[in-house]
Amino acid sequence: MIRRTKKQCPELVLPDDKEYLECVKDILRNESFLSMQNFIQHGTTTCLEHCLNVSYRSYLFCKKHNLNYRAAARAGLLHDLFLYDWHFHAKLTGNCFHGLTHPKCALENARREFKLNDIEANSILRHMFPLTPHPPRYREGNVIMWYDKVCGIMEILRRPAYKQSAILAQPI
């Protein structure tokens, strides 16, 4: 399991955006959510950083286009709440289909911790389309699905704008 030490992992910072933080403040204090900082998602980006990238970009897009930005912000933060290191998951569990199974796992974990509305639940469950067969039911889910892919690619390429410090300014 890849675990970052404090030295390797600088203090997490959040968007300097009061309205965004108001939408997600309960999630940001949740221990299961915060434990995502222990797991690498892409390159040097942790699951938590990846989810923040997807959440904040989806929030901004949905706000600009009069969609449910609160649901997008919350589902973006929770869409990868599977809580394990997927790099070693197949070896440890025999489950070689993380790409297909983790949305359901994330949804179950999210439901254990938070009350989700239909948009949030469906957006989490279907964010891996087209790898999984069903597209998101709501427009907010489509926004998350696309930003998940864009952010994933940018994180793998280690683009500076997709490192936390480039877009986020307020310490937790």
Chain contacts with Fe ion (rule: CB under 5 A) = 80, 148
Nearer to Fe ion, 70 or 102 (CB): 102
Nearer to Fe ion, 16 or 96 (CB): 96
Q: CB 50 → Fe ion: shortest distance, Å? A: 6
Whose tokens are 């933080």? That residue is 21
Q: CB 79 → Fe ion: shortest distance, Å? A: 6
Decide: 77 and 51 in contact? Cβ < 8 Å.
Answer: yes
**Considering only CA atoms, which of 86, 68, 84 is closest in space to residue 136?**
68
Q: CB 128 → Fe ion: shortest distance, Å? A: 6
Q: Residue 138 has what DSSP assignment? A: S
Nearer to Fe ion, 22 or 93 (CB): 93
Nearer to Fe ion, 49 or 148 (CB): 148
56 Cα distance to chain centroid: 10
CA–CA separation, 123 and 74 (whole Å)? 10
CA–CA separation, 154 and 42 (whole Å)? 9
**Considering only CA atoms, which of 56, 9, 47 is closest in space to residue 152?**
47
Q: CB 84 → Fe ion: shortest distance, Å? A: 12
Nearer to Fe ion, 120 or 148 (CB): 148
Q: CB 7 → Fe ion: shortest distance, Å? A: 26
**Counting Cβ atoms within 10 Å, is residue 128 exposed (0-12), middle (13-18) or buried (19+)?**
buried
